[in-house]
Amino acid sequence: MDQPIKFKNNGQINIILHDQKTRGHVNKMEREAPTSFQVPTKHTELKNIEDEMANLIGLEEMKKMVKEIYAWLYINKKREEQGLKAGKQVLHMLFKGNPGTGKTTVARLLGKLFFHMNVLSKGHLIEAERADLVGEYIGHTAQKTRDLVKKAMGGILFVDEAYSLARGGEKDFGKEAIDTLVKHMEDKQHDFVLILAGYSREMEHFLSLNPGMKSRFPIVLDFPDYSVEQLMEISKRMLSEKEYQFSLDAEFALRNHLRELLQSNPRSFSNGRYVRNVIEKTIRSQAMRLLVNETYDRSDLLTIHRHDLEFDV
């Protein structure tokens, strides 16, 4: 397992977010750095974001990372006030990980933080994928990409499965989208934040095909899969918010099912997104069972049983 924070020679920051295993050692940097700290109450912008993050399962390193970015931006402003060097930070990022590991949620929270710190004028999130960027004829792609960047001005442009832009080779219009994005990253690097996201292996391959891209992203975040226990906690919270609860047999069955999925083919498993779909379909299944039975009390209305679980989602 990589360490939570690792500085590379090119200045990139690699951060591991939620970790499903306990590490057996810490490196020198971690021993010397404080493991946690209390932010003074005057930093209301960060406090508000922390309150939102408190509702998220896992993502402990992301929560730490948000504090670090806040501190970085805040202290740089103080340096400016004292006449010290404090150039504007480039905040374009790479998110690497499987679907359903919290990448979009993190992007949205960062947008709010950057807005409250006056780094971004709006802080909104524009989500896009290959079809939103790539056109059907020469020149169409550049225009579509420019239009998306324009919509993202003052906020964050989040491109999911970004590696798909390079899948067609030199003659594919995806290359035109990449070139257009690179130009706007340079020309308007402080007016919006670009986040490219996707599977870890594919993103590494994508960057290897575009050597100039990697150096333009000073922050790289890895999103490992949630553990089974984290996924169970997510599912319980989802049910609790809707005023449902698992029976013991249902909880046992779901835990075993998730464990088997993670062991068999984690790349095809969409983590939190999958759990949400299971819960929603299961609630409909329970409603159908109660409708047919026609006899139920408050406990029946609250409880999800083993035979209500729907895994074919």
Can you give the three-state secondary structure of the chain, one letter per residue?
CCCCEEECCCCCEEEECCCCCCCCCCCHHHHHCCCCCCCCCCCHHHHHHHHHHCCCCCCHHHHHHHHHHHHHHHHHHHHHHCCCCCCCCCCCEEEEECCCCCHHHHHHHHHHHHHHCCCCCCCCEEEECHHHHCCCCCCHHHHHHHHHHHHHCCCEEEECCHHHHHCCCCCCCHHHHHHHHHHHHHHCCCCCEEEEEECHHHHHHHHHHCHHHHCCCCEEEEECCCCHHHHHHHHHHHHHHCCCEECHHHHHHHHHHHHHHHHHCHHHCCHHHHHHHHHHHHHHHHHHHHHHHCCCCHHHHHEECHHHCCCCC
The more confident residue out of 97 and 139 is: 97
Task: From residue 103, give the alpha-carbon distance in Å to each of 36, 48, 176, 222, 273.
Answer: 23, 20, 25, 9, 11
Structure-token match 């934040």, residue found: 193
Q: Give the pLDDT score at 45.
A: 81
N-terminal to C-terminal alpha carbon distance within the chain: 31
Q: Is the pLDDT of residue 105 over 50?
A: yes
Last residue of a domain, one of 223, 244, 278: 223
Separation between Cα atoms, residue 86 and residue 106, nearest integer Å: 26
Q: Give the pLDDT score at 70.
A: 87
Are 46 and 190 within one domain? Answer: yes
Number of compact structural domains in the chain:
2
For residue 132, what pLDDT band results from cuts at 50, 70 and 90? very high
The region of weakest confidence among 121-125, 240-244, 259-263, 304-308 is: 259-263
The region of weakest confidence among 33-37, 74-78, 223-227, 235-239 is: 33-37
Separation between Cα atoms, residue 61 and residue 16, nearest integer Å: 6
The region of weakest confidence among 27-36, 93-102, 147-156 is: 27-36
Q: What is the CATH number of the domain that holds 90?
A: 3.40.50.300
Are 203 and 136 within one domain? Answer: yes
Is position 313 within any domain? no
Last residue of a domain, one of 205, 223, 241: 223
Q: Comparing C-alpha atoms, which of 114, 203, 200, 98 is closest to residue 157?
A: 114
Is position 62 within any domain? yes
167 neighbors 174 (Cβ within 8 angstroms)? yes
Range of the domain at 254: 228-308
Are 46 and 110 within one domain? Answer: yes
Q: Is the pLDDT of residue 31 over 80?
A: no
For residue 195, what pLDDT band results from cuts at 50, 70 and 90? very high
Last residue of a domain, one of 223, 242, 259: 223
Q: Comparing C-alpha atoms, which of 174, 223, 227, 173 is closest to residue 198?
A: 223
* Residues of the chain above pLDDT 70, percent: 83
